[in-house]
Amino acid sequence: MEAVLSIGTHVIPHPRKVETGGEDAFFVGGDGGGVFAIADGVSGWAEKNVNPALFSREVMANSSTFIKDEEASNDPQILLMKAHAATSSIGSATVIIAMLEKTGTLKIASVGDCGLKVIRKGQVMFSTYPQEHYFDCPYQISSEAIGQTYQDALVCTVNLMEGDMIVSGSDGFFDNIFDQEILAVISESPGIDEAAKALAELARKHSVDVRFDSPYSIEARSRGFDVPWWKKLLGAKLTGGKMDDITVIVAQVKTVAVPDDEGSGVEQEKGGEQVTVAATASAEQNE
């Protein structure tokens, strides 16, 4: 038996970036037991008249190319190194890459605040942590020497079982949704595509709700950010979602029978659901 991922995706751009498709990009492929990646272009580059989407999209396009490279195909940190080294755009991005070995081991490399959680038997049993320089300034790979590289990545693995669900996303997703909400949506969704869509839409709803006490607002208050003192006197506190591009990837671990003739080198996947599609996409193509 071999482990493979079924992968669903959904992207909703920042409300003010709908026309350009936002600055998140992602990549999904069927290599090994399945691979996916998300890159979130750092929006500050717009102030320098640089389109922040170019860098994140190029990193994802490069990832889809170098996944065919033998060394990079089973090491997300090497894939990140090669995808970054091959960029020519100006900009920077947070990136997470995850690849499943057919043995069931999920390998992860992450720079910045994209996230990945594993859900087993209705509970979160694994989660990455964001890396940041200070509040709202994540680690990022960059066209500039000052940025981070593959060497700064969080590199970890987690052994998965049949039925495990993976929920991965850009910070625009995790800043606007709580774990308990993710668990509820996953348990209520008939499939991975529906789950990805429902999760993105719930995060989007929270992101534009100024009264929602989001994970982002709670974190901001815990870092000492707040409304002015005179608003505090009136009982106000810093709340609200965080408007941002929202990318969600939902993947489920399935096991499939290995063909008897292992010499063929061809993986036989049974049933439409197990077939993962190779795709590089940003919201521009996706929405």
Among 27, 36, 66, 126, binds a second copy (CB under 8 A): 126
Q: How far is the CB of 78 from a second copy (least distance, A)?
A: 13
Residue 69 DSSP class: S
The answer to whether residue 149 forms part of the interface with a second copy (CB under 8 A) is no
The answer to whether residue 154 forms part of the interface with a second copy (CB under 8 A) is yes
Cβ proximity to a second copy, 129 vs 225, nearer residue: 129
Among 51, 127, 149, 255, binds a second copy (CB under 8 A): 127
The answer to whether residue 239 forms part of the interface with a second copy (CB under 8 A) is no
The answer to whether residue 187 forms part of the interface with a second copy (CB under 8 A) is no
Residues in 197-226 that interact with a second copy by CB under 8 A: 222
Q: What b/e sequence results for 166-176 when a residue is b if at least 16 CB atoms lie within 10 Å of its CB, and e otherwise?
A: bbbbbbbbbbb
Q: What is the DSSP string of 232-247?
A: HHTT----B-----EE
Q: What b/e sequence results for 35-59 when a residue is b if at least 16 CB atoms lie within 10 Å of its CB, and e otherwise?
A: bbbbbbbbbebeeeebebbbbbbbb
What lies within 8 Å, CB to CB, of 135 at 6+ separation is 219, 220, 223, 225
Among 155, 238, 243, 256, binds a second copy (CB under 8 A): 155
Which helix (DSSP H) or strand (DSSP E) does residue 261 occupy?
none
The answer to whether residue 181 forms part of the interface with a second copy (CB under 8 A) is no
The answer to whether residue 146 forms part of the interface with a second copy (CB under 8 A) is no
Among 123, 210, 229, 271, binds a second copy (CB under 8 A): 123
Among 156, 183, 184, 256, binds a second copy (CB under 8 A): 156
Q: How far apart are CA 269 and CA 255, in angstroms?
A: 10
Contact positions vs a second copy (CB under 8 A): 123-129, 131-132, 154-159, 180, 222
